[in-house]
Chain A
Amino acid sequence: MKRTIGAAVILLGAIAAWPTHVPAQQPFTTVAAGVNKKMVKLFGAGGFKGLPSYGTGILVSPNGYVLTVNNHILSTSDLRVHLYDGRFHHAKVVVKEPELDLALVKIEGEVEGLPHFDVDKASSQPLAGAGDWVLAFSNQFQIATRDEPMSVQRGVIAAMTELRGRRGIFEAPYNGDVYFLDAIACNPGAAGGIITNRKGELLGILGRELKNTLTDTWINYAVPIQAKADIQRGDKSDTVSLASFVRLGIEGKYKEGEKRKLVDKGGYHGIMLVPNVVSATPPYVEEVMPNSPAAKAGLQPDDLIVYVNGELVTSIRAFRELMKHFGANDKVTMEVQRSNKLKSVKLELTEVPKLTK
């Protein structure tokens, strides 16, 4: 009996000594230095219309595979990577998965033994939750080049919920659950950066810059490393995890899903606008087709269309672009200005009617 209690005490002593507690005010210099070695700065397309030409990525293999966000900077034949030690390399996109909004990039030329994140291992950990303390790492604002380290920020996971974001008029490609952060982490160039726990263990990937569809404010979020997405390949639909995308991508076996139809044919609304004479002709209604969704909704000639589903439309061109994203049976809310008053109308779009003689 004595011996067993003794053994239990020793075991408890071991548990008590286990370093789970991190003092609240400990600096994160060592953690930051360790994480930084597994991250890269990406330089590619952009530099116009407020789109940055730089981004962030993480090494996911010792031989130079880099995981990053599938955004515009990859649309170039001159993609460049800066490693933590200042080395510079060209790189090529290996495979993308739009549904996860991620891409796998490979450094060209011989590299080996690079420090990297083990995505499989990270994704086998339980999800973090609201209230958890995180560190965010990225090359926001292109502050760093060459061997200069990533920016590190601290924050708290404010919520874990479905991503309802958009950039301009396009919705976010990924719409699973994400970590929302209280830190302003999703600045220009931060996409492809990461959040970690206090020990520097990978929790999620910072997403592209997005506005919240409800509040119209820029949001700070990360896609959990355990993320999954449903993808369509021909007739079959499949669920892929972020980790399997990385694993199969490195093995050269990953098949991209089909592109989600972001652009529909455009449903029929029955609105005829005034002639589009200048580059920003305001979308005034010229005529409403009889029995059309617009007629049913009560639209009238001379109405000025101001908002479509909360999106400001300033020109005929913008209106037409926007309407391409809807299809038959979609419900669309429009705010129109009629003799100095705003009026809200709801249209239910239909198939384009066949021409009759």
Chain B
Amino acid sequence: MATRRGFVLALIIGMVFLAGWRSLAQDADVLRDEAARVAVVDKVRPAVVAVFARGGQGGGSGVLISDDGYALTNFHVVQAPGPVMQCGLADGVLYDAVLVGLDKVGDVALIKLLPKKAGEKFPFAVMGDSDKVREGDWSLAMGNPFLLATDFTPTVTFGLVSGVHRYQYPAGTLLEYTDCIQIDTSINPGNSGGPLFDMKGELIGINGRGSFDKRGRINSGVGYAISINQIKNFMGHMRAGLDSDHASLGALITTQTEKSGLGRMMVTSILEESDVYRRGLDIDDELLSFAGRTISSVNQFKNVMGLYPRGWRMPLEYRREQTRKEILVRLMGVQARIFDVGDKQPQPPQQPPKGIKLPKGPPSPAAKFYQAKQGFANYYFNKLEQDRLLAGFRKLGDFSGLAGMWTMDGTVRLLKLKSESKFRIDITEDKAKDAKVFRPLVKMTVGEFPYQVLPLEAQDPTLLRVPESSGGLLTAMYVYHQLLNQGAKPFSEFAHGGHEPLYPPSSDGKTSKLADLRVDTEVLNTRLGPFLVKWFFALSDQKLLGYEVRLNENEDPCEGYLSDYRAVDGRQLPHRLQVVYGNTSYGTFTFNRFQLGTAK
């Protein structure tokens, strides 16, 4: 009896003690979490931007992403102010800022704040990985809702991620929110363009939209942020001052369901001029995955398509009857469909891009960093990126003084011959006897077979594709020679094209997963005579990794992949060239000797 009473007594005393201890412990947890939250807010606050039109009209929010003043916001925030604006930071200082690049369809704009004195460093937010965000995660939204803060101190709201990989149909004609993050974190007018942070303080999205219905255009418990991973894909384009476009496949995909069960994603129509059609996709094929993501609904398909800029090549898997195939698809544009007619009209020069109004009033100090040009958000920054890229490229070798004939020889393994042959390529740019202009001539011999082309004279396009199964290797060699020797000068169009993935074929010829071959590059889009040429440079050192030469937008280019760089007379030169045309490899060239401009 006594023991039992002792047990009960001990238990009661213990429970009272525990109850007290546990509530204390709970309070401690709450306090700790609160302190952690406050610390995160303190850390990220300085990077939050209040965006205004000059003179304080309208506005929204933004976030700094680099110490030299680049900041992200929404396209619909910069639409009203135009190419120059003013930005307030949390410390109360107002900066002039200029529009850099646009992703209109994705509702994103990149702007640059001008430092008050040269070399001044800005606070900035670190970009996270939005693919790791899950529904049920906590998040912080910051910005200037209702333009409350006249001293620019950002407002912070805290809430749950309600969903990820959400698709929101275009509002109006363009603004489409694909693969976005849905939050119950309060988003109101003025929050647009502001950052969404995870609880580590990493930037996971740009807040820009909500589902509004009968409750008016204020927080309805359903807000959307553009995922930072999508923005990263467009960052190279925006940095280069481009008015970038989103991607479309060129084929219509619809869900087909039996009476019940899972749907199948079927190709129901396809554009014959699309790259995806030339790569082999056809009506009644079943789409399995795109860009590494399994596709089982139309929303998912639109989500993943919305992640990429026009012109990118991404892997696609499909099934025809029992065979699974993986192809690499060049993506078509979105805006072209809408603006096609307008863009083909001759445009008066120096017109600002569509949707951007020129500012009124006295010129902003930021105006000297703005240069209008059709197809660009701000050409000033494109020029900046071109110059940086070319400077890096020239560091690897200066070929500018090498006039006269260029000769390269070595061995080549052509796909159709299956054996190794010797080759020699001569590029001459001689003046014809009576002509006043240069007459470029490219000759190639492979074994006993001679080829030649006059790249700037031939009229019939088929004569320019020499050898035919290479898609135009000789003209490609000529254009390559021009880039090395003359830089930007001979090109009638020359622009930085942002970032694009490149998929150099594996050197052992084995087919592996396309995604494993991917190398991220920065590109130049150029035109020389009738040729459209895209150049791919390594992000790290601007080494030329590949090119695409074509005569028309909607046809397969001659692709060249350059590798095995080694120094020749102090200049880095590729010793391997893999040539691909359409769905097949033409051959692999190994260079043994370069003779650049010495022989006459």
Contact = CB atoms under 8 A, between A and B. Distances in A.
Interface in B156-194: 159-163, 165-166, 168, 182, 184
Given A25-B33, A218-B215, A146 B263 contact: yes
Contacts of B6: 1, 4-5
Contacts of B26: 21
Given A8-B11, A21-B25, A143-B163, A218 B138 contact: no
B260 A89 contact: yes
A285 to B, nearest CB: 33
B10 A152 contact: no
B262 A30 contact: no
A188 interface: yes
B219 A1 contact: no
Contact of B222 (A4, A25, A143, A145): A143
A233 B321 CA distance: 59
A27 B138 contact: yes
Given A12-B11, A218-B215, A149 B184 contact: no
B572 to A, nearest CB: 49
Contacts of A184: 184, 215, 219-222
A245 B143 CA distance: 48
B259 A109 contact: yes
Nearest to A9: B14
A151 B136 contact: no
B182 A145 contact: no
Nearest to A110: B260
Interface in A12-36: 12, 15-16, 21, 23-25, 27-33
Contact of A29 (B22, B135, B220): B135
B136 A32 contact: yes
B257 interface: yes
Interface in A218-234: 218
Nearest to B199: A25
Nearest to A184: B221
Interface string B21-37: 11001100110011011
A113 interface: no
A293 to B, nearest CB: 35
B29 A87 contact: no
A174 B136 CA distance: 31
A31 B136 contact: yes
B3 interface: yes
A86 interface: yes
Contacts of A148: 163, 165-166, 297, 299-300
Contacts of A307: none
B10 A9 contact: yes
Contacts, number: 157
Interface residues of A, number: 52
B135 A32 contact: yes
A8 B10 contact: yes
B254 to A, nearest CB: 13
Given A9-B10, A27-B138, A188-B213, A1 B221 contact: no
B438 interface: no
Nearest to A27: B137
Contacts of A32: 134-136
Contact of B166 (A27, A29, A143, A218): A143
A141 interface: yes
B299 A145 contact: yes
Interface in B1-27: 2-4, 6-7, 10-11, 14-15, 18, 21-22, 25-26
Contacts of B163: 143-144, 148-152
Interface string A71-95: 0000000000000011111100000
Contacts of A3: 3
A241 to B, nearest CB: 30
A140 interface: yes
Given A89-B260, A151-B182, A188-B213, A15 B299 contact: no
Contacts of B585: none
Contacts of B165: 148
B412 to A, nearest CB: 50
A146 B300 CA distance: 10
A82 B115 CA distance: 53
B221 A87 contact: no
Interface in A142-186: 143-154, 183-185
Interface string A121-136: 0000000000000010
A316 to B, nearest CB: 26
A88 B222 contact: no
B184 A27 contact: no
A11 interface: yes
Contact of B220 (A7, A85, A108, A187): A187
A4 B135 contact: no
A50 interface: yes
A32 B300 CA distance: 20
Contacts of A140: 211, 221-222
B490 to A, nearest CB: 52
B7 A7 contact: yes
Which 5 A-B pairs have CB atoms at the shortest separation, nearest pair first? A184-B221, A28-B136, A4-B7, A32-B136, A8-B10
12 contacts: A16-B18, A29-B136, A33-B135, A87-B260, A87-B262, A109-B259, A135-B160, A148-B297, A149-B163, A152-B163, A183-B184, A218-B214
Interface of A: 1, 3-5, 7-9, 11-12, 15-16, 21, 23-25, 27-33, 50, 85-90, 108-109, 135, 140-141, 143-154, 183-185, 187-188, 218
Given A25-B36, A88-B257, A152-B184, 18 more contacts: A4-B3, A5-B10, A21-B25, A23-B29, A28-B137, A29-B137, A32-B136, A86-B263, A86-B297, A135-B160, A140-B211, A148-B163, A151-B162, A151-B182, A151-B184, A152-B162, A184-B215, A218-B214
